[in-house]
Structure 1
Amino acid sequence: MAETGAPEIPASWADLPFFHDDWPALWSRLAANRDWQPAPENIFRALRLTPREQVRVVILGQDPYHTPGRAQGLAFSFPPGEPPRDSLRNILTEIASDTGTQKRDGDLSGWAKQGVLLLNTILTVPVGRAFGHKGQGWEKLTRQVLNATAADGPRAFLLWGGPAQKLCANLPRDGHLFLESPHPSPLSAHRGFFGSKPFSRSNAWLRARGEPPIDWSR
């Protein structure tokens, strides 16, 4: 831990330079004003639920939901039992169309436990103020996680929207699967996210590698 009360650093990612060079100062700034989310123990939830050696698919979000109580530490994920809305509702609609299976719950922790890294670019957000922690230092961690993941071996990257695609523009392409489409937000889903079939296409790639597919209904 950086200091008393700081969230535990996930062991499999702890050797990233961010945790030594940048995290102590970033945590000090966060600890000085706790009007942000997710809860401290969930800041690194995506990295905890999907250890580095288990990553098979990467889905990038932007920053956590700023609606009070909604951020769960996993990109796009809603609290268990809360009806999905907006981007997540469109994601679940595409799953049904693409795979013929239904996922009705917006809790995506079942994906994370199968090796889907649900990583937000920025890991904290002030309540009620989207992108309020942009430029605070989280972007360094995101870049290091992406570089490490790409270096570890073939992975599937599902990149929705320009910001996610730009973040991954310099990653090596050889051996990896990159599926790019518009973002699933209500403003852009109809411009090419619907019908892009990222879930069946990534599963076909995993099967071709001899790996089990992701059960997107979990």
Structure 2
Amino acid sequence: MQTLPESWRPVLAEELAKPYYAELTAYVDAERKEHQIFPPEDEVFAALEATPYQDVRVLVVGQDPYHDDNQAHGMSFSVRPEVRIPPSLRNIYKEMNADIGLPIPDNGYLMPWAQQGVLLLNTVLTVRAHEAASHKGKGWEKFTDAVIKAVNDRDEPVVFVLWGGHAKKKISLIDTAKHTIVQGAHPSPLSAKLFHGSKPFSQIDAALAAMGHKAIDWTIPNVKK
């Protein structure tokens, strides 16, 4: 499996030495020999690559990588510019437009957010093609809990964004006296009615301002001329 980005290695070194991580690595490597696995091996840690440890200001907890062709590239909710915008991300964009007035972009590539300190972390980092949650319970959850704890342990306050019941279970890992939690329904079509109107972007912006952090520019540039 891909090696961890440099900024994350010191804070996750203990995790990488644990027996479960060796088992997880062996499992994913074996799965790649037998099945098509998303995202590609060199993009498993793309979220950690795009947002170095010391730069995290907002942590968005996702779930499973997208499991259809060409969708997953290692960052929760994001797809590459040429890929059709998935329904959950479309709902996120609709809420962004309603909440802070930004136009809905023509693509789902969230790298501009990641590069400003928004860590787009799925709780499971690999999946078999076309088999949702097929790598659930294999060890990724322990690893990504360790990522959340590492961010929680930093001195600087961070905004944790927890959408849906799965993400809200992570509250126990977070020091709510130090950090801010923005939570709501999941943006998937199943719970979109509850998600719309929750105003997460203005909540995040207000929390960052209260922390003395620079605001996030949520604009996603269009790619089509």
Q: What band does the TM-score fall into relative to the shorter chain?
A: over 0.9
The code of the aligned residue for 1:138 comes to W
Match of residue 11, structure 1, among 6, 19, 43: 6
Query: Is residue 31 from structure 1 mapped to residue 29 from structure 2 by the alignment?
Result: yes
Residue in structure 1 matched with residue 206 of structure 2 by the alignment: 204
* Deviation by residue 1:46-73 (Cα, 9 ceiling, x = unmatched): 0111111000001011010011221010
Q: Is the 8 Å Cα contact of residues 70 and 83 (structure 2) preserved in structure 1?
A: no
Give the alignment's TM-score, normalised by structure 1.
Answer: 0.93
TM-score w.r.t. length of structure 2? 0.90
| Alignment partners' CA distance in 1, 2:183 and 2:83 | 28
The Cα shift of 1:179 comes to 1.0
The aligned runs of 1:130-149 (5 Å cut-off) are 130-149=132-151
SS of the residue corresponding to residue 32 of structure 1 reads: helix
How far apart are residue 103 of structure 1 and its match? 4.0
Between stretches 11-20 and 62-71, larger displacement belongs to 11-20
Q: What does 1:42-121 correspond to in 2, within 5 Å?
A: 42-104=43-105, 105-121=107-123
Paired AA for residue 194 in structure 1:
H
Q: Tell me the distance in 1 between the aligned counterparts of 2:17 and 2:203.
A: 37
Instruction: Tell me how far 1:189 sits from its aligned partner.
Output: 1.2
Out of 186, 189, 197, the residue aligned to residue 189 of structure 2 is 186
Contact persistence 2:80–2:109 (CA under 8 A): yes
In the alignment, is the contact (CA less than 8 A) between 2:113 and 2:217 conserved in 1? yes
2:61 counterpart letter in structure 1? L
Partners of 1:161 and 1:182 within 8 A in 2: yes
Kept after mapping to 2: 8 A contact 1:99/1:199: yes
Alignment-mate amino acid for residue 217 of structure 2: D
Shift in CA distance, 103/53, structure 1 to aligned 2, threshold 3 Å: farther
Q: Is the contact made by 2:152 and 2:173 (CA closer than 8 Å) also made in structure 1?
A: no
User: 1:46 and 1:129 mapped to 2: Cα distance?
Assistant: 22
- Corresponding residue SS for 1:58: strand
For 1:168 and 1:129, how far apart are their aligned partners in 2?
28
Runs of 4+ in 1 over 6 A off after TM superposition: none
Q: Report how far residue 151 of structure 1 moved.
A: 1.2
Aligned residues: percent identity? Answer: 43
Gapped regions of structure 2 (runs ≥ 5): 221-225
Report Cα offsets for 1:165-191 as digits up to 9, x if no partner: 012234211121111101000010102
Count of matched residue pairs: 212
Separation in 1 of the partners of 2:27 and 2:153? 31
- Which stretch shows the higher mean deviation, 175-184 or 14-23? 14-23
**Equivalent of residue 20 in structure 1, options 17, 22, 32:** 17
Look up the SS of the partner of 1:167 in the other structure. Answer: helix
